[in-house]
Amino acid sequence: MTCKNMEGGIELKAEHLKAIVESYDIKLVPEFKVKWLEKLRSGEIEQGRAKLRSINDEFCCLGISCDIVDSEQWEEAVHGQYYFHRLGGGWENGFPSPDVLSEMFQTDKEGWEGGAEKVSSTLAGLNDSGASFEQIADLIDELL
């Protein structure tokens, strides 16, 4: 399993992700998954931490998901250090809005919202703990 190829805390977060996916039986929308994996593995996007997208165009793995859903919704923060993603009328800078999550995840099962939030939070934790986009893509490909 992919999780075993990761170091320390990242491996624990990957195992946690697997447990969440199994518990909620949650999956990505297939077309979205293909696009997300392609972007994560492209090598063309700089990886950032703690924000969906920095002013230097460094993206968290979840920032890439926001960009896939609607790349026209970015607005620079007043102090100019990062961008907000505004889909659904919100001002999101650290986590995708419910509107983005509903485009990412299959919504046909009861409780998908809670599973989507937990999966996304765990993916953000992996990103911010040093997992590479390639490692995150491998987990998404295997588990979601």
Q: What is the pLDDT of residues 56-75, one digit of tens each?
A: 999 999 999 999 999 999 99
Residues of the chain above pLDDT 70, percent: 92
Distant-in-sequence, close-in-space partners of 41: CB < 8 Å, separation ≥ 6: 133, 134, 137
Distant-in-sequence, close-in-space partners of 87: CB < 8 Å, separation ≥ 6: 66, 69, 70, 73, 97, 99, 100
pLDDT reading at 18 higher than 80? yes
Residues of the chain above pLDDT 90, percent: 70
Q: So what's the pLDDT on residue 51?
A: 93
DSSP H or E run through 47: strand 46-47
* Beta strand 74-76 pairing with 83-85: antiparallel
Angle at 86 between CA 33 and CA 29, to 5 degrees: 15
Distant-in-sequence, close-in-space partners of 20: CB < 8 Å, separation ≥ 6: 26, 115, 118, 119, 122
Q: 24 versus 4: which is more confidently predicted? A: 24
Residue type, 105: F
Q: pLDDT digit string (tens) for 93-127?
A: 888 999 999 999 998 888 889 999 999 999 999 99
Q: How far apart are CA 132 and CA 117, in angstroms?
A: 21
Q: So what's the pLDDT on residue 93?
A: 80
pLDDT reading at 142 higher than 90? yes
pLDDT reading at 1 higher than 50? no
Question: Cα dihedral angle (130, 134, 135, 139), rounded to 10 degrees?
Answer: 130
